[in-house]
Homo-oligomer: A and B are copies of this chain.
Amino acid sequence: MSEFTLSCPIPISDYPQVLLAHGSGGKLMHHLLEKLIVPTFASPISADRHDGATLTFNGSRLAFTTDSFVVKPLFFPGGDIGTLAVNGTVNDLAMCGARPCYLSLSFILEEGLPMETLWRVVQSIRAAAKAADVQIVTGDIKVVDRGKGDGMFINTAGIGVIEHSLTIAPRMVREGDAILINGDLGRHGMAIMAAREGLTFETTIESDCAPLAAPVLRLIEAGVEVHCLRDMTRGGMASSLVEIAKGSGLHLHIDEARLPIRDDVRAACEILGLDPLYVANEGRFVAFVPQAQAEKALEAIGEGAVQVGVVLADAKGKVTAQSGIGVSRVVDMLSGEQLPRIC
């Protein structure tokens, strides 16, 4: 009984209700996690605030992770909720340095959803699972009444095997590390935005949604001493970097001129007043590796990989970006909601 009389640690006067921004990947979401969720379920396993948990069974190290997907619209250029549901969880496992093996698949369907829509999504889940070399081994279906859902929500959870002895976590980042990314930024967010708002640009911007296990495993197989990995989803590159800066207590400095952003994405961002640093990606990750291994790492990651910054020790838990004209600005976490239901 006494457990229920503890009062809610999120001041009711500030946030009496859940806001869309509580799911944004930005400041409010971190506030919710830090105040309400993390202290409640704190354990040595979840202490690293990773994309997944690392479990040990009989000498095997496994990664375990979950994500729910509520993207709107269900279908968009370059993918759909099904590809996202597979790749999102596969990528969280990859960011633990694990080889993704098995996924669970759970649907929450809204009464009235066209059966053909479900069928199309199931087919793209199958194709995405095949491409990512994972098996769907267990699942669930729930149906909610009309008007109490939004067509379809999907949850996947995943299990992967960690076949190396590296510890990959924000606290492993070191002064002098190179900051690498694996390709151009901002396409997933802009693809969703364009599809949702019916915007048309000269070119179709397709989501970058893709499985990331292969480049990560190549990095590890190449013998690169990977310190930290993070996929740059909700909240974009900025939020991922701020999380890692806080987790490492170091200063991450990036050079904006080095960020690969396609012209059409940059133009769409400008029209809509969005900063590409905060736009979501679904097939992009950041890797922290020793500078001496940066060349080898870029080669292992493959086409599109580029070094965008370095880790400094002259400030604590801070991210800065040097603009094209040489001015350095502080990069903070997304503070409101840039684009709800991006994944």
CB-CB contacts below 8 Å: A81-116 with B: 101-102, 104-116
- Decide if A110 touches B37 in the complex (CB within 8 Å): no
Inter-chain contact A144/B139, CB cutoff 8 Å: no
For A32, A65, A113, A157, the residue with the greatest tally of chain B CB atoms inside 10 Å of its CB is A157
**A6 near B: Cβ within 8 Å?**
yes
Q: In the complex, are the beta carbons of B119 and A41 less than 8 A apart? A: no
The stretch from A11-19, A177-185, A220-228, A303-311 touching chain B is A11-19
Given A3-B123, A60-B60, A70-B108, the answer on whether A19 and B143 have CB atoms closer than 8 Å is yes
- The answer to whether A67 and B23 have CB atoms under 8 Å apart is no
Counting CB contacts under 8 A, is A176 at the interface? no
A137 and B18 contacting across the interface, CB-CB below 8 Å: no
Given A17-B112, A107-B68, do A139 and B12 touch, yes or no (CB 8 Å)? no
Decide yes or no whether A145 CB sits under 8 A from chain B: yes
Bound-complex Cα distance A334 to B11 (A): 46
Tell me which of B19, B46, B55, B145 contacts A340 (CB under 8 A). Answer: B145
- Residues from chain B with a CB closer than 8 A to the CB of A19 are 111, 143
CB distance from A79 to the nearest CB of B (A): 13
Contacting pair B137 A144 (CB below 8 A): no
Q: Say yes or no: A16 contacts B115, CB within 8 Å.
A: yes
Q: Which of A165-207 contact B (CB under 8 A)?
A: none
A120 to B: closest C-beta gap in Å: 6
Contact across chains for B43 and A135 when beta carbons are under 8 A apart: yes
> 13 A–B contact pairs at CB < 8 A?
A6-B123, A10-B115, A19-B143, A23-B109, A23-B141, A41-B137, A45-B102, A46-B138, A66-B155, A66-B157, A142-B341, A149-B150, A159-B159
Q: Which 7 A-B pairs have the closest CB atoms?
A: A23-B143, A157-B157, A66-B104, A53-B137, A8-B119, A155-B155, A148-B150
